[in-house]
């Protein structure tokens, strides 16, 4: 009798082909964050029961660019960096579940397949996009240093359309790089029934956080540009900014090593 | 209370952002198929219980390139073709379940995110790849006509490495374009537990077929080239060809509109 | 003493590494054309001396999508189709030189490096873009047949921004697929001096045409959508449509086998 | 009479569409270098008259990965980083001209169109490729710090085939990051006649260097992996390594601001 191995598909006798290695997953990267307030009703649209709006500042949104290297425990991916490097742009809001405040990623675009698969496992609603973010560098005039006055741009496109762009100018040290993405994530994992009409095969509310974290100095910045664009299959621009909260820049190292089941979903079949 | 809609993530109030539209899904495309025999033990490695090797010709493998346009019932994607066109290369074997023969896709690479998501829903173990296939054209010398002597090449790469290449020369009409991919598919849908160690959140054996099909003339061909290459995260080359069965070319139209649950998986947690 | 060979760089002892094979170059592909009138002054801006506006209908513009396979005389590229397939979107106007009317490509985007290099050789001002065009197919509902009522979309993006999109619905047979791209091309080949400030190292007006041509039935169509978008490094939207002339669809086979010198340029150094 | 502007094609009334901005061009990036010795006869094959082999160590080769941001004097590209970031992998040898030693890039792959065009202007024989290089990062386990023991991988692919891969482990400080790429570049700029058979329209030997340079600490490293692969349209693997010289890592800032004509080419028409 055959035993197939591997954390994800395709599963084989050796497990070597799995699109995802076993966690823990390690990440080193740079985060460019813009926080702003939108109409809380637009946030509420994205929070199915049993989630509610966060009690305080319920319209707060974080739009985050991340330029990552990631790897498994072996670190093998780092020496074949096409399997390690990826970029993402994602939108986080907050919500409330059983009296506790959670962060929740409502939209996310990445540029590698392993990142898509990790996201589906973690409940991130990932799509492919083209994501770019200014990189700091210590030499030459083609990059900012990480210092007061440094300017960082982030752009996002998908399906050959630009969806978002932002520019942040660093103004000085900060105590946090935002409050919207600062809670454990509350995500739905979701897979429709193979017969299309039955109850979903997977509909689960899960909680997930970094299992360990380290980071460099936190920088605050002014948000000089924040544009969200409409597209036929995207609704990012419904989360229109009414008021800028702030911009942030930080270099971080993160480990992810699993989450926990919070509740069964109550979504029923696709409607 | 919010209702979120959409066949797949991200689910929103309108459902417009879903990476997948509701089935049925329509496909128009060209299939280039190479069938060959490998060591049946290598096929058996990819068939977890309760699946068994097919009773007849258990080492038969089909390596298939497909150049698709696909769309939802509305057909909107066809006029924004970046959302419609994709290519794939996939490997099919046969297996037996409860006395019936099924086809089973054991490896597959595609080049668009919606194709990845559809595959995970249907139990295809999809990764991203770079796939190319000679296109026929009625004019000029930079394409074969679909006729005796026409030569079609297919290539597959992933993670910046070539994984497979084949060349087929059409020899004449055929009655089928192969027997390996001719049965309903028996696929496992799989999602590990969010805590990594518990029983999988989704482990299901499903059956799926085209709900409707039309096709043009079927062509047989000689297989002039068939190369499978090794790679650190791929095991395609374990299915090494011992004997060529044949090559085929066909233009087809397909509709997919759901499948059915066959059995719960017995895989247990990742091992 | 070493002799290096090859039609283009990199040139080596064998010539095998050249980005371009020797002409003739063969092309098989599908053309989707939209013709319209813009302000002739906007066309004149793109016609340096000794070129003048065409005598008749000087504001006519053709926006053309092409989905190609191309190859050298050997045809080797067709069996390794990543080296053969490419798409392009280009803008053609007409001009007058020494009393004769020429076509002239003023903007063009392609998606492969060999196409960029061929273009620079032929005086096409090529950039990289992401180009998509609806493909016809004889089976299934995910493609139009080539018939009355068939709808074809074309889209163009570069640097993660959509630059153009069009939709054409076929209405019936036509006698030509447009008049704007129907003349020999008059192009400038251009290379600045290596010292930046001297006279250009190459500044030449050349003429070029297909050396042979075949094509299928010509289809006329209504232009249902024609959108040109602005971008920081693009001026396509300056050629704004004032009046639609028509849409066209045709499958063609083309051979290109060299052009001829018309005149030295008079452009002087970059200004 | 129309004046068209722009350093490169497409040239327009404003010059805004030019694929290249006016020099100077600024670069900030990381260099991973592997130096080795090949058969000097293989180097000689790539040195057309009037170039000769370098007098000392004529078989020395540098294989260099570079991960760049670049921009024009305005720096605008840095805030729209899809127009600023690119990667390259290139092969440098040395040669002798009129008694002076020059460096010469014989093969180079980049991943953006502006980099291709800059290269053709500067005499670099550029093609498109997929290039990846391990990035250092100060936090987390998914990146090396720049320190003894840090491991950096570089990979190169083109046309869906891997062409080169290397791994370097840092061993300590060094006085230079190699001697092969340390001279002014002697490059041929080349454009065949539009009639294919006449003398080339551009055939010029030029010299070019950085106009200014700054760099961080120089690191030497052991070369743990160096693989060059064959491909139908590439000859990189002819420069097979017989002996490793060393590996290097350095972060640099560079300005390029023009070169100078050395000699007319003597290549004659393509052969």
Instruction: Give the 3-state secondary structure of chain A.
Output: CCCCECCCCCCECCCCCCCCCCCCEEEEEEEEEEEEECCHHHHHCCCCCCCEECCCCCCEEEEEEEEEEEECCCCHHHHCHHHCEEEEEEEEEEEEECCEEEEEEEEEEECCHHHHHHHHHHCCCEEECEEEECCCCCCCCCCCCCCCCCEEEEEEEECCEEEEEEEEEEEEECCCCCCCCCCCEEEEEEECCCCCCCCCCEEEEEEEEEEEEEECCCEEEEEEEEEECCECCECHHHCCCCEEEEEEEEEEEEEEEEEEEEEECCCCCCC
Residue D269 in this model has a pLDDT that exceeds 50: no
- How many Å apart are CA D105 and CA D108, to the nearest integer? 7
- How many Å apart are CA B254 and CA C142, to the nearest integer? 9
Mutate to test the interface with A, among B233, B237, B260, B266 (most CBs of A within 10 A): B233
Measured CA distances, A107 to A125, A241, A257 (Å): 6, 16, 22
Q: Which helix (H) or strand (E) holds C34?
A: strand C25-37
Q: What is the mean pLDDT of chain C?
A: 96
Q: Grade residue A271 by pLDDT with cuts at 50, 70 and 90.
A: very low
Residue D267 in this model has a pLDDT that exceeds 60: no
Q: Do B82 and C132 make contact, defined as CB atoms within 8 angstroms?
A: yes
Mean pLDDT of the A83-101 span: 98
Mean pLDDT of the A144-173 span: 98
Tokens representing residue C59 in the block = 């504001």
Candidate from B138, B143, B254 with C-beta closest to C140:
B254
- How many Å apart are CA D93 and CA D46, to the nearest integer? 9
- Token pair 């160096």: residue: D226
Which residues of chain B have a CB within 8 Å of the CB of A23? 196
**Count of residues for chain D?**
271
Mean pLDDT of the D100-107 span: 98
Which residues of chain B have a CB within 8 Å of the CB of C160? none
Terminal alpha carbon distance of chain B: 41
Q: Which of A130, A102, A114, A120 is nearest to A27 (CA)?
A: A114
Cis (ω within 30 of 0) for the bond into A251? no
Chain D partners (3+ C-beta pairs within 8 A): A, B, C
* Closest chain A residue by Cα to residue D166: A79
Three-state DSSP string of D138-156: CCCCCCCCCCCCCEEEEEE
pLDDT for the residue B267:
57
Cβ neighbours of residue A10 under 8 Å, at least 6 residues apart?
A: A17, A18, A19, B46, B106, B107, B125, B127
- How many Å apart are CA C33 and CA A165, to the nearest integer? 32
Which residues of chain D have a CB within 8 Å of the CB of B160? 130, 132, 155-157, 162
Provide the CA D20 distance to its chain's centre, in angstroms: 17
The dihedrals phi and psi of A119, each to the nearest 5 degrees, come to -65, -45
- How many Å apart are CA C27 and CA C29, to the nearest integer? 6
* Closest chain C residue by Cα to residue A154: C160
Q: What is the pTM of this model?
A: 0.97
Residue C269 in this model has a pLDDT that exceeds 70: no
- How many Å apart are CA D216 and CA D237, to the nearest integer? 32
Helix (H, G, I), strand (E, B) or coil at C224: strand
Mean pLDDT of the D136-154 span: 98
Q: Which helix (H) or strand (E) holds B113?
A: helix B113-122
Q: Grade residue A270 by pLDDT with cuts at 50, 70 and 90.
A: very low
Q: Do C78 and B142 make contact, defined as CB atoms within 8 angstroms?
A: yes
Candidate from B13, B76, B121 with C-beta closest to A45:
B13
Q: Which of D137, B120, B129 is nearest to A26 (CA)?
A: D137
Which residues of chain A have a CB within 8 Å of the CB of C161? 157, 161-162
Which residues of chain D have a CB within 8 Å of the CB of B153? none
Q: What is the ipTM of this complex?
A: 0.96
Terminal alpha carbon distance of chain A: 41
pLDDT, tens digit only, all 271 positions of chain B:
689 999 999 999 999 999 999 999 999 999 999 999 999 999 999 999 999 999 999 999 999 999 999 999 999 999 999 999 999 999 999 999 999 999 999 999 999 999 999 999 999 999 999 999 999 999 999 999 999 999 999 999 999 999 999 999 999 999 999 999 999 999 999 999 999 999 999 999 999 999 999 999 999 999 999 999 999 999 999 999 999 999 999 999 999 999 999 999 875 544 4
Residue D266 in this model has a pLDDT that exceeds 90: no
Q: Grade residue A268 by pLDDT with cuts at 50, 70 and 90.
A: low
Count the Cβ atoms, other than its own, within 10 Å of residue C257. Answer: 17
Q: Do B2 and A44 make contact, defined as CB atoms within 8 angstroms?
A: yes
pLDDT for the residue A206:
98
pLDDT for the residue B95:
98
Candidate from D132, D156, D160 with C-beta closest to B157:
D160
- How many Å apart are CA C118 and CA B21, to the nearest integer? 40
* Closest chain D residue by Cα to residue B129: D160
Mutate to test the interface with B, among A127, A200, A207, A263 (most CBs of B within 10 A): A127
Residue C247 in this model has a pLDDT that exceeds 80: yes
Cβ neighbours of residue C132 under 8 Å, at least 6 residues apart?
A: A160, B80, B81, B82, B85, C87, C153, C154, C155
What are the beta bridge partners of residue D96? Answer: D52, D101
pLDDT for the residue D159:
98
Q: Do A254 and D79 make contact, defined as CB atoms within 8 angstroms?
A: no
What are the beta bridge partners of residue D62? Answer: D35, D92
Q: Grade residue D2 by pLDDT with cuts at 50, 70 and 90.
A: confident
- How many Å apart are CA B20 and CA B120, to the nearest integer? 11
Q: What is the mean pLDDT of chain A?
A: 96
pLDDT for the residue A267:
57
Residue A50 in this model has a pLDDT that exceeds 70: yes
Q: Grade residue C1 by pLDDT with cuts at 50, 70 and 90.
A: low
- Token pair 């003349």: residue: C183
Q: How far off is chain D from C222, nearest CA to CA, in Å?
A: 30
Chain A partners (3+ C-beta pairs within 8 A): B, C, D
Q: Do C159 and D23 make contact, defined as CB atoms within 8 angstroms?
A: no
Measured CA distances, B76 to A102, B8, C169, D87 (Å): 37, 18, 14, 36
pLDDT for the residue B2:
86
Mutate to test the interface with B, among C25, C75, C79, C80 (most CBs of B within 10 A): C79
Tokens representing residue B242 in the block = 């011992």
Burial class (CB in 10 A: 0-12, 13-18, 19+), D16: middle
Residue C31 in this model has a pLDDT that exceeds 90: yes
* Closest chain C residue by Cα to residue D271: C5
Candidate from C22, C106, C206 with C-beta closest to D194:
C206
Taking a C-beta distance cutoff of 8 angstroms, is the pair B138, B130 a contact?
Answer: no
Eight-state DSSP code of residue C242: S
Chain B partners (3+ C-beta pairs within 8 A): A, C, D
Candidate from D79, D134, D216 with C-beta closest to A79:
D134
Q: What is the mean pLDDT of chain D?
A: 96
Residue D270 in this model has a pLDDT that exceeds 90: no
Q: Do D194 and C122 make contact, defined as CB atoms within 8 angstroms?
A: yes
Which residues of chain B have a CB within 8 Å of the CB of D89? none
Q: Characterize the bridge pairing of strands D52-53 and D202-215.
A: unpaired
Q: Residues C237, C238, C242, C246: is their CA dihedral positive or negative?
A: negative
B-side interface with D, Cβ within 8 Å?
Answer: 130, 132, 155-157, 160-162
- How many Å apart are CA A54 and CA A92, to the nearest integer? 12
Q: Do A27 and D79 make contact, defined as CB atoms within 8 angstroms?
A: no
Q: Do A140 and D26 make contact, defined as CB atoms within 8 angstroms?
A: yes
Cis (ω within 30 of 0) for the bond into A24? yes
Longest dimension (CA), chain C: 64
Q: Do B80 and C155 make contact, defined as CB atoms within 8 angstroms?
A: yes
Q: Grade residue A265 by pLDDT with cuts at 50, 70 and 90.
A: confident
Q: Strand locations in C183-242, DSSP E? A: 185-191, 202-215, 219-228
Residue C236 in this model has a pLDDT that exceeds 50: yes
Tokens representing residue A248 in the block = 């942030």
Candidate from C82, C133, C214 with C-beta closest to B139:
C214
Q: Do C253 and B142 make contact, defined as CB atoms within 8 angstroms?
A: yes
Residue D271 in this model has a pLDDT that exceeds 80: no
Tokens representing residue C85 in the block = 């397939």
pLDDT for the residue C265:
86
Q: Do A157 and C155 make contact, defined as CB atoms within 8 angstroms?
A: no
* Closest chain B residue by Cα to residue C152: B79
Q: Do D28 and A216 make contact, defined as CB atoms within 8 angstroms?
A: no
Tokens representing residue A215 in the block = 């980071």
């Amino acid at each position: 009798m055959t035993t197939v191995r591997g954390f994800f598909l395709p599963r084989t006798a050796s497990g070597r082909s799995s699109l995802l290695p076993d966690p823990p997953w390690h990440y080193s990267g740079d985060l460019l964050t813009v926080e702003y307030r939108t109409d809380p009703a637009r946030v509420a649209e994205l929070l199915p029961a049993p989630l509610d709006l966060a009690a305080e500042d319920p319209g707060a949104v974080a739009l985050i660019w991340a330029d990552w290297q990631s790897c498994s425990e072996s670190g093998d991916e780092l020496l074949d960096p096409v399997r390690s490097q990826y970029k993402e742009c994602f939108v986080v809001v907050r919500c409330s579940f059983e009296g506790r405040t959670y962060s929740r990623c409502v939209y996310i675009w990445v540029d590698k397949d392993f990142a898509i698969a990790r996201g589906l496992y973690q409940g991130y609603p990932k799509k492919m996009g083209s994501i770019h973010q200014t990189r700091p560098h210590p030499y030459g005039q083609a990059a900012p240093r990480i210092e007061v006055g440094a300017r960082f741009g982030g752009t996002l496109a998908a399906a050959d359309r630009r969806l978002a762009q932002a520019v942040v100018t660093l103004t000085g040290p900060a105590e946090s790089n935002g409050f919207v993405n600062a809670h454990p994530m509350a995500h739905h994992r979701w897979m429709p029934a193979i017969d299309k009409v039955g109850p979903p095969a997977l509909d689960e509310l899960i909680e997930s956080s970094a299992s360990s974290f380290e980071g460099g100095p936190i920088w605050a910045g002014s948000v000089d540009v924040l544009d969200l664009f409409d597209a036929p299959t995207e609704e990012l621009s419904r989360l229109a900014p009414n008021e800028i909260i702030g911009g942030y820049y930080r270099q971080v190292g993160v480990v992810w090593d699993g989450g926990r089941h919070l509740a069964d979903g109550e979504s029923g079949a696709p409607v």
